[in-house]
């Protein structure tokens, strides 16, 4: 196996928790969507499906408040754009902890377990933007938690992409932290050890297939068919090889026994030829079998704590990494389960319980008018609609890629129309659009109607963006 493959299988990893018979299975609740489901409904969905843990990407007070009294273990999130302020102003870190942690810890309150400081801040694509601020911010948050008297219960952690470690060969046993951040990572893992905090890593076997056309597809799943030999250990799937590469990196950093949480793992269902429901189900079925066995990995036997990624599809998420980025949910955008899941790992394929109380906009769609003939204008408006909405299902190999050109235009028009709450002017397109009452969906391609969103929910989900803006303005004034 070449070193190139190793980079793909070991380094690659890129917004809660699904639980069956184990308390160590969690799920990520991301909110990068144009039409978020009411948090009250989402919390009910978590309870209905037995989810015991949830990982958030911010600390929206309305979302967090609905988790009070549920017993669900919560990992709060702090976005990367707040790291600089938290790193230089300890008083701000104290205020953050008081407002977002201790204020929820009354009797019958929220079961906060972790604060995730940043999200994959050392990605190589960030080119070092957060390397000077992420660790000081995490130290300030942990210090504030300690001073508030909750530091033994709530730990500051830092979810990291698997690209923070690497192998100098094609073997997990050569695992070390990435050379450009090795000194920093050594300090971070020692800090985590001293505070009895876990190392949180995001691992994505799907990306191994996506980034390397020569990658052996069997190795991305859990059914065998391909293996690598490392000394006396044989690895038959990339997840275990990746995980144990981290174990070796921790050993080489002097923290061999540091606990590990898999903060994100999953498989997308659209936006790429390998991103489909069949592959997603195959991946999850294999993952759940591994988790249910409690065998762990060759270097870390026992239970593995995992947070699935993610809960819902998110139609406004960045597609810079790939068109699949908006399709990681185990539920559709409206809270409908995508497929049966054997979360027990024992062959019990059961439908997840969908979101209850979700209301939809009227059953109407925007399509290309039958009389439209100006092909240049049609192409221009199609491109414009896709730039303002979500056309990732039209990607080559995706669920709607086989539509003929006029239907693809209709898909683009409808995506924009639904994202804009079916406003009549959102189906104009310089006279090319037409509102219809007959569903234009095909067997493989769904033309959706959006859900209704109340004002409170829209305001709540805008909180994170507003908070980030306020932090940036305050930081600018401070500097």
For residue 90 the two structure tokens come to 């300890």
264 is catalytic: yes
In whole angstroms, give the CA distance from residue 292 to residue 288.
Answer: 6
Looking up tokens 């003939």 gives: 373
Helix axes 277-293, 238-252, angle to 10 degrees: 50
430 is catalytic: no
Using alpha carbons, select from 41, 196, 142, 59 the residue that is nearest to residue 471: 59
3-state secondary structure at position 362? coil
The catalytic position among 73, 84, 120, 325 is: 120
Using alpha carbons, select from 273, 200, 294, 280 the residue that is nearest to residue 243: 200
- pLDDT higher than 80, residue 143: yes
DSSP secondary structure string, 189-217?
HHHHHHTT--EEEE--HHHHHHH-TTS-G
3-state secondary structure at position 115? strand
- pLDDT higher than 80, residue 121: yes
In whole angstroms, give the CA distance from residue 218 to residue 272.
Answer: 17
In whole angstroms, give the CA distance from residue 123 to residue 162.
Answer: 9
Beta bridge partners of 74: 54, 112
What are the structural domains of the chain?
Answer: 25-331 (3.20.20.80), 365-436 (no CATH)
Query: Given this model, what pLDDT does residue 22 score?
Result: 42
pLDDT digits (tens, 9 = 90+) for 225-255: 999 999 999 999 999 999 999 999 999 999 9
User: E strands within 155-279?
Assistant: 155-157, 160-161, 165-167, 175-177, 199-202, 228-230, 233-235, 260-265
pLDDT digits (tens, 9 = 90+) for 74-93: 999 999 999 999 999 999 99
Query: Given this model, what pLDDT does residue 350 score?
Result: 84
- pLDDT higher than 70, residue 4: no
The catalytic position among 264, 305, 314, 325 is: 264
Q: Taking residues 91-111, what's their average pLDDT? A: 96
pLDDT digits (tens, 9 = 90+) for 412-461: 999 999 999 999 999 999 999 999 999 999 999 999 999 999 877 777 66
pTM for this one? 0.92
Burial per residue of 367-388, b for 16 or more beta-carbon CB atoms within 10 angstroms, e otherwise: bbbeebeeeeebeebbeebbee
Using alpha carbons, select from 298, 331, 300, 297 the residue that is nearest to residue 313: 331
Give the residue, 470 or 214, on which the prediction is more confident. Answer: 214
Name, in order, each residue with C-beta under 8 angstroms of 462's C-beta and a sequence gap of 6 or more: none
């Amino acid at each position: 196996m070449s070193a190139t493959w190793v980079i793909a299988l070991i380094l690659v990893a890129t917004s809660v928790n699904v639980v069956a018979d184990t308390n160590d299975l969690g799920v990520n609740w991301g909110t990068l969507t144009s039409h978020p489901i009411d948090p009250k409904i989402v919390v009910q969905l978590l309870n209905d499906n037995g989810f015991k843990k949830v990982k958030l990407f911010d600390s929206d007070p309305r979302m967090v408040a609905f988790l009070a009294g549920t017993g669900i273990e919560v990992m709060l999130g702090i976005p990367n754009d707040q790291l600089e302020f938290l790193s230089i102003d300890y008083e701000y870190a104290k205020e953050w902890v008081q407002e977002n942690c201790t204020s929820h810890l009354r009797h019958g309150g929220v079961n906060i377990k972790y604060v995730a400081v940043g999200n994959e801040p050392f990605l190589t694509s960030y080119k070092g933007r957060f390397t000077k601020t992420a660790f000081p911010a995490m130290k300030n948050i942990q210090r504030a938690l300690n001073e508030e008297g909750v530091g033994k219960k709530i730990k500051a952690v830092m979810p990291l992409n698997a690209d923070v470690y690497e192998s100098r060969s094609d073997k997990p046993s050569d695992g070390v932290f990435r050379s450009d951040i090795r000194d920093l990572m050594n300090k971070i893992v020692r800090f985590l050890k001293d505070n009895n905090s876990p190392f949180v890593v995001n691992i994505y076997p799907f990306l191994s297939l996506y980034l390397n056309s020569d990658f052996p597809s069997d190795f991305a799943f859990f059914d065998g068919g391909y293996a690598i030999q490392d000394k006396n250990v044989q690895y038959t799937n990339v997840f275990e090889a990746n995980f144990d590469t981290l174990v070796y990196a921790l050993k080489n950093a002097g923290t061999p026994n540091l606990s590990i949480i898999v903060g994100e793992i999953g498989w997308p269902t659209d936006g790429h030829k390998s991103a489909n429901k069949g592959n997603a189900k195959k991946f999850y079925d294999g993952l759940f079998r591994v988790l249910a066995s409690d065998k762990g990995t060759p270097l870390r036997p026992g239970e593995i704590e995992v947070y699935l990624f993610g809960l819902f599809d998110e139609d406004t998420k960045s597609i810079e990494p790939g068109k699949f980025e908006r399709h990681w949910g185990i539920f559709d955008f409206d809270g409908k389960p995508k497929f049966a899941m054997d979360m027990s790992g024992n062959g019990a394929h059961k439908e997840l319980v969908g979101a209850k109380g979700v209301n939809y906009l009227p059953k109407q769609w925007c399509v290309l008018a039958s009389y439209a003939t100006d092909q240049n204008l049609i192409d221009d408006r199609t491109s414009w609609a896709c730039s303002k909405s979500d056309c990732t299902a039209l990607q080559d190999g995706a669920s709607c890629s086989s539509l003929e050109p006029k239907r693809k235009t209709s898909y683009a028009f409808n995506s924009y129309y639904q994202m804009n709450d079916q406003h009549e002017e959102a189906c104009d397109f310089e006279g090319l659009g037409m509102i219809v009452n007959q569903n234009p969906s095909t067997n493989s391609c769904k033309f959706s109607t959006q859900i209704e969103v109340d004002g409170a929910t829209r305001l709540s989900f805008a909180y994170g963006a507003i908070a980030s803006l306020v932090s940036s303005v305050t930081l600018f004034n401070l500097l």
